[in-house]
Amino acid sequence: MEKKPHFLRREFPPREVSSVSLALLLAAVLLLNALLYLYLNKFYTSSGRAETDPGLCPFGYFRLGAVKNCSPWLSCEAINREVRKLKRVGEGAVKKVFLSEWKENKVVLSQLTNSELKEDFLHGLKMLKALQSKHVVRLLGYCEQQSTILTEYHPLGSLRGLNETLHIPKYKGMNTWHRRLMLAIDYVSIIRYLHSSPLGTLVMCDSNDLDKVLSQYLLTSDFHILVNDLDALPLVNRSAGRLVKCGHRELRGEFVAPEQRWPYGEEVPFEDDLMPPYDEKTDIWKIPDVSNFLLGHVEGSDIVRLHLFDIHAACKKKDPAERPSAQEVLDTYRKVLTLLIREAAMPGTREML
């Protein structure tokens, strides 16, 4: 009887293959996490968002451009002698703003326009001096007698022009969900810094509508945000029972927080003395609206909004005490950035595991 040939089949144990694949996958994930940690650590500490900057000069000094040495803040005499106005680039209720030049560097000279608002002007100068950090525009000099302030120039201007800037061919590569989320993190970082500043808890009062908020911030050439206008920055001191009111006029609209609106109805005429004060949680209420603008409408921005939905809903709680702190919002934003970068780097990892 003829024997049938036997064909040998070599079978690999499925468990071995699974174990090797899983080990390789886990190694890749660990490597990705390590690289992600290094990237985010660099982002948080050296990309201009750290609280302190080793490159900052001592109090009363500044460093501009590529110059290595620190110079003292310019005095009245130095400003009059060394600073040359080029053209007016802006004007608000408190001051006129001039693009100027100092030792071949473009700078910004701000001058008080209304003597009745000198107190606001000097308050802004006081805040600018006291809050110098990576979150605040750099002070170069001032002259109280002539009501002038000299600051660093940022050619991209205020945050209002963000979308227009991102349509310029040079900057189109920046128009991504990732870069826009980083800008939102910058913004929340500034709010958190103001709420825990060296002076105490400060409230950003010049923020009655989105356009006004955006005008208070500058967009730097390396795409970060600095706060620029600190004229209306009152102090909350709960232990002393001190709350704030943003101005003496009635505030309306959904942009301002509920506690900033007249609580007694249309039948009762507005009276400043009857208006209850409030605290820094008014800034938290506005974060979702500002972030929505910063995120824009690019590929991936809706996914970011989805991940931020819960924290933004918490920011919009009617009771200020139920809203998160700026630190809690910032922590959530950073976690979302980390998560989305990880998922973008290794799509499908979660399903494979």
Find tokens 């709010």 and name the residue: 191
The pLDDT value recorded for residue 22 is 61
Burial state string for 185-218 with b = 16 or more CB within 10 A and e = fewer than 16: bbbbbbbbbbbebeeebbbbbbbbbbeebbbbbb
Flag whether 30 is in a domain.
Answer: no
Alpha-carbon gap, residue 100 to 115, rounded angstroms: 23
Tell me the two tokens of residue 330: 């910032």
Are 85 and 220 in the same domain?
A: no
Flag whether 275 is in a domain.
Answer: yes
Q: Which domain holds residue 120?
A: 71-152
Are 303 and 328 in the same domain?
A: yes
What is the band of 102 on the pLDDT scale with cuts at 50, 70, 90?
Answer: very high
Alpha-carbon gap, residue 42 to 29, rounded angstroms: 20
SS3 234: coil
Q: Largest alpha-carbon pair distance within the chain?
A: 119
Are 178 and 273 in the same domain?
A: yes
Flag whether 63 is in a domain.
Answer: no
Q: CATH code at 132?
A: 3.30.200.20
Are 193 and 324 in the same domain?
A: yes
What residues contact 168, with CB distance under 8 A and at least 6 apart?
A: none
Are 85 and 121 in the same domain?
A: yes
The pLDDT value recorded for residue 315 is 98
Are 175 and 199 in the same domain?
A: yes
Alpha-carbon gap, residue 116 to 270, rounded angstroms: 24
Last residue of a domain, one of 118, 152, 186: 152
Rounded average pLDDT over 296-303: 96
- Residue that wins the pLDDT comparison between 18 and 264: 264
- In the predicted model, what is the mean pLDDT of the chain? 87
DSSP of 251-279, one letter per residue?
Answer: B-SSSS-GGGB-TT-TTS---GGGSPPB-
Phi, psi for 125 (deg, rounded to 5): -65, -45
pLDDT of 185 > 80? The answer is: yes
Are 97 and 233 in the same domain?
A: no
Tell me the two tokens of residue 12: 């690999």
Flag whether 211 is in a domain.
Answer: yes
Rounded average pLDDT over 93-112: 94
Flag whether 250 is in a domain.
Answer: yes
Alpha-carbon gap, residue 280 to 205, rounded angstroms: 9
Q: CATH code at 309?
A: 1.10.510.10
Are 208 and 96 in the same domain?
A: no
Lowest mean pLDDT among 145-159, 166-180, 304-318, 333-347: 333-347
What is the band of 56 on the pLDDT scale with cuts at 50, 70, 90?
Answer: confident
Last residue of a domain, one of 152, 176, 210: 152
Are 218 and 142 in the same domain?
A: no
Flag whether 43 is in a domain.
Answer: no
Strand 105-112 and strand 148-152: the pairing is antiparallel
Quote the number of domains for the chain: 2
What is the band of 92 on the pLDDT scale with cuts at 50, 70, 90?
Answer: confident
CB 185 within 8 A of CB 195: no
Are 220 and 320 in the same domain?
A: yes
Find tokens 């921005």 and name the residue: 301
Can you name the residues that pair with 139 across neighbouring β-strands? 151
Are 228 and 261 in the same domain?
A: yes
What is the band of 47 on the pLDDT scale with cuts at 50, 70, 90?
Answer: very low
Are 220 and 316 in the same domain?
A: yes
